[in-house]
Chain A
Amino acid sequence: MFSLENITRIIHEWLNSHFNPTFALLSEFILVGLASITLFAVLGLSLVFMERKVAAVMQIRLGPNRVGPKGIFQTTADTLKLLMKEGLVPDGADKFLFSLAPFIVMIVAMLILAPIAFAKNFQIWDINIGVLYLSAVSSLSVIGILMAGWASNNKYSLLGAMRSGAQIVSYELSAGLSVLSIVVMTGSLSIKDIILSQENGWWIFKAHIPALISFVIFIIAVTAETNRAPFDMAEAESELTAGFHTEYSGMRFALFFLAEYINIFIVCAIGATLFFGGWMPLHIGHWHSFNHIMDFIPSSIWFLGKTIALIFLIMWFRWTFPRLRIDQLLNLEWKYLLPISMFNLLLMTLVAIMNWHF
């Protein structure tokens, strides 16, 4: 049966049988690096295309349909155009920080890819504190955004960056708490263990209503963390023109733009891993024959399917909801989401201790 696991195993064995172990490890590092850069580009391009098509469906129009069959090369063409554009640095901007900011945002997005399990035994780095690593690294992106806003020497950028700072720092809390609630259930921070613990059913079904609540909070919080509508305060087109990346052009802008989509992919992948079992096929308790049939679908398909479904959900938000105001945004977090998720964590702990879940 087709499995990504076999490919990596074959490469690993071939390298080890032909070269000494140090060189084999080194070439594996390089291969993984190249693969993740490729993945980065492919994901960015395909998600931008998906967003434009989803928007088109919501807005009763066709969307891109000229470049390539069904317009699938539209985003590639756009990126090529951005590559060829002059990257302008405005007068009075802090040139070093201005150029550095998009790379920080991008590097953070790439770092978070590391512990995500794309398929069965297909993971860049199975770190034992995977979930902690994810929460820690993902909050670094705010530094890039603040840097961009400050270095641009533009008032709109500065306002956008300040909003973004306040927003990401606050929503990090409830995202973290809802992630914790799943950690409480599994008793492990490792992504691999979390997925394996869902072998007889996904947590969203197994852990009753508390899991549902924490999933809803998670989705709201990560939408805010990735600066997506209805929480796109940092960009807020009709208020701050383009927020923190107002002054960016060319490839520097493209890096921000692509990083946004990579971040969406990553948070949806995390959501799929925690609540929907990652690559784990749909298993229901003791229905062995059903479970067996489900196992025939490759694990990478399961993972991608769940992730894309969540991405669609987030895109759906963007194209139907109006934007919140900055004070309403912070009220929502501090007055509603945070207390609810704290209480929910207690509830989850109770469920875990009393073994009320399936």
Chain B
Amino acid sequence: MIEEIGRTTEGDLIINVGPQHPATHGVLHLVITLNGETIKKVEPHLGYIHRSIEKMCESLSYRQFIYVTSRMDYLSSHINNHGCALCVEKGLQIEVPLRAQYIRVIMDELTRIASHELWWGAMAMDLGAFTPFFHAFRERETITDIMEKTCGARLTMNYIVPGGVMAELHPDFQKDVQNFIQLYKSKFEEYNELVTGNVIFQNRMKSVGIISKEDAISYGCSGPVARASGVICDIRKLYPYDIYNKVEFEEITETEGDSFARYVVRLKEMQQSIRIIEQLLGNIPEGDFQAKTKAVLKLPKGEFYQRVETARGELGVYIVSEGGTTPYRIKFRSPGFSNLSALEHMVKGLKIGDLVAAMGSLDLVIPDIDR
């Protein structure tokens, strides 16, 4: 009987968490080795949602491939598009009109808030609290409504084209965003009351899944995960793109490097995003929303790299061009992949519940890891 229930001879229990499991938020497959409730080993198995996006991009033109990238990290699809468009613009040396830059950055930050809202709800759900999910979605709906009004899509927006954005803003845009900011500010305290201040929540999150600054760097962590360990890595500050160098915002860092620090970083980041939007919203300049570009784009021979800060961390877009209408090779450096690699380091020796908490605090989006 002992062998039948899957114990190995050393007395370890090997459990498959996923590919279909409520805590993995997708088709991630973790093979965990347990000693009782204690985790001895975590082995992520990837590839269940691999759609070979990089290969697909190689047979699509420079205008078309951007749309495929929405499906990588679907929660920050707009920022993925932004990175790709910036990379193409870099190759073609297109000057993007200021108005388009403003719109792009505002939409970037709205996407970031929407993504963090979803994460907040899912994080609480991982810890067994279901109600925050609905509260998070209440605010997130407002953002997706704004996006729908602007470009017709709620999730995979495809609003960005090389040289600017696809369409003019909806006349109500400023008013809607203003309303959202008001709603968000009035509800933010609720988040802290419901989740952040909860004793059970804090006990589950503090001193759990710790990753030190050095380890975060060596695992290649980025975004809120790295910043929670004290690594300064915000691409918006370090390598500003579009008009990020003209707006004022703080790069949020914590030093603890535990799940709670990652939680706090994301909550504060949402507020910084609000701050950025507030600065830009009132003074979107008049002008074109799109630069004049040729119908068929051809990047000169060479290699181009652009990084952007998505909701999950640093997204790198690397294009190798042979001078044709399609890229010769495309490689994405996705933030989730590197962040996932740190998971085993974080949870070794902890309990199953901690694995779920740490995984939630990493904010993994599986299609982003597999691509």
Known: A155-B15, A238-B23, A322-B195. A229 touches B4 (CB 8 A): no
Map CB proximity to A onto B86-127 as digits: 1 under 8 Å, 0 otherwise.
000000000000000000000000000000000000001111
Q: Is B353's CB within 8 Å of the partner chain A?
A: yes
Map CB proximity to B onto A19-59 as digits: 1 under 8 Å, 0 otherwise.
00000000000000000000000000000000000010011
Known: A320-B194, A322-B201, A322-B204. A59 touches B131 (CB 8 A): yes
Map CB proximity to B onto A101-129 as digits: 1 under 8 Å, 0 otherwise.
00000000000000000000000000000
Q: Report yes or no: B13 in contact with A155, Cβ–Cβ below 8 A.
A: yes
A-contacting residues, B1-46, CB 8 Å = 4-6, 13, 15, 21-23, 37
Q: Which residues of B contact A325 (CB under 8 A)?
A: 203-204, 351, 353-354
Q: Is A239's CB within 8 Å of the partner chain B?
A: yes
Give the A-B pair count, Cβ closer than 8 A: 92
Q: How far is the CA of A238 from the CA of B356 in the complex (A)?
A: 7
Q: Report yes or no: B356 in contact with A239, Cβ–Cβ below 8 A.
A: yes
Q: Report yes or no: B37 in contact with A236, Cβ–Cβ below 8 A.
A: no
Q: B134's closest neighbor in chain A, by CB? A: A59
Q: Which residues of A contact B126 (CB under 8 A)?
A: 238
On chain A, which size bracket covers the interface? 20 to 34
Q: Report yes or no: B200 in contact with A323, Cβ–Cβ below 8 A.
A: yes
Map CB proximity to A onto B129-147 as digits: 1 under 8 Å, 0 otherwise.
1110111001000000000
Known: A238-B23, A328-B203. A322 touches B129 (CB 8 A): yes
A-contacting residues, B182-211, CB 8 Å = 194-195, 198, 200-201, 203-204
Q: Which of A153, A156, A239, A241 contacts B353 (CB 8 A)?
A: A239
Q: Which residues of A contact B128 (CB under 8 A)?
A: 229-230, 232, 236-238, 321-323
Q: Which residues of A contact B194 (CB under 8 A)?
A: 320
Q: Which residues of A contact B15 (CB under 8 A)?
A: 155-156, 159
B354 → chain A closest CB, angstroms: 7
Q: Report yes or no: B4 in contact with A92, Cβ–Cβ below 8 A.
A: yes
Q: How far is the CA of A35 from the CA of B353 in the complex (A)?
A: 42
Q: Is A324's CB within 8 Å of the partner chain B?
A: yes
Q: Report yes or no: B127 in contact with A238, Cβ–Cβ below 8 A.
A: yes
Further pairs besides A320-B129, A323-B204, A326-B351: 6, Cβ < 8 Å: A58-B131, A59-B134, A153-B4, A159-B15, A236-B128, A237-B128
